[in-house]
Amino acid sequence: MRLASIAMLAVLVTPVWADVPGVAGVTVTRSAGSARIDVTISHPDTGWDHYADGWEVLAADGSRIGMRELAHPHVDEQPFTRSLPGVVIPAGATEIMIRTRCNVDGWSVETVTVQLR
């Protein structure tokens, strides 16, 4: 099985009024039939009262193809990277999108687009 790795650095411009998690980087590692998505997130976590609690992988049409729950704050680990294996990317897809969430502000309205090779 041949692995193809695509490293992407994406910068998310976060509105100044929101504390939504920002995406600092995305790596997509494809293997037969699925992919592992590694997302690096930056967020001013303050503890259980306000922290980045998830991110999702979206197909180009906006449908969810993967979701990663974050079970605890990362106050002393910023930015931090978490992985999601087993993501099935639709055949012929040329891009995916990443959207983040925090337990106070909910889902970000912004997405980060990752071009696939």
The predicted pLDDT at position 12 comes to: 37
| 100: β partners | 55
Q: Is the pLDDT of residue 5 over 50?
A: no
The predicted pLDDT at position 18 comes to: 55
Long-range contacts of range 104-112, CB-CB < 8 Å, 24 or more positions apart? 104/19, 104/49, 104/50, 105/18, 105/19, 105/20, 108/12, 108/14, 108/18, 108/20, 108/21, 110/12, 110/13, 110/14, 110/15, 110/20, 111/58, 112/10, 112/12, 112/23, 112/26
The domains located in the chain, with CATH, are 4-115 (2.60.40)
pLDDT, tens digit, 9 for 90 and up, residues 32-85: 889 999 999 999 888 999 999 999 999 999 999 999 999 998 888 889 999 999
The predicted pLDDT at position 56 comes to: 98
pLDDT, tens digit, 9 for 90 and up, residues 14-32: 333 357 898 999 999 999 8
pLDDT bin (cut points 50, 70, 90) of residue 10 is very low
pTM for the model: 0.81
Q: Is the pLDDT of residue 7 over 60?
A: no
